[in-house]
Amino acid sequence: MKRWLVLMFAALLVTGCAQQDEEYETKENQTKEEQAQETEQTPANEAETEAETENNTDTVEQEAPATTEDADLTEQMKNEAGIVEGKIYTKEGIAYGTIIFEEGISNEEAKKLAETYANKMKEKYADKTVNVQGVRGSENVANITL
């Protein structure tokens, strides 16, 4: 009985492994054929691919709009009491002001400073939308849009 079970197990093992080898060889051959077909490109197709790549690069470069910092107004803002850091810049027809306030400044003082710089920016950039945001710690204490 033991001998019979061992022979049956061995037969199943050999049969199962043989089928797996055939499946593996078939898949491997299909993969090689697909790779060969993909690598075969005519010179016209290669030229089209290169042209498409160049066009995509141009599009990406055009999508990145320029950011222009207003160094004078930024420096003036940084010198204000209660302001730790900040930046004023323009991008895509919008003038942005970002302000980081000291921890000890009150909400009222922070809003007043943010409004002051929003108004200065609106005077200077009358044709643009103005957006000023002020942060103290991790809390947004001012968000002004003119």
Q: At a CB cut-off of 8 Å and minimum separation 6, what does 88 contact?
A: 69, 70, 73, 74, 77, 95, 96, 97, 98, 117, 121
Write down the domain spans for the chain. Answer: 2-63, 67-145
pLDDT tens-digit readout, 5-53:
556 655 555 555 544 555 555 556 565 556 656 555 444 555 555 555 5
Global pTM? 0.56
**CA 13 to the chain's CA centroid:** 52
Class of domain 67-145: alpha beta
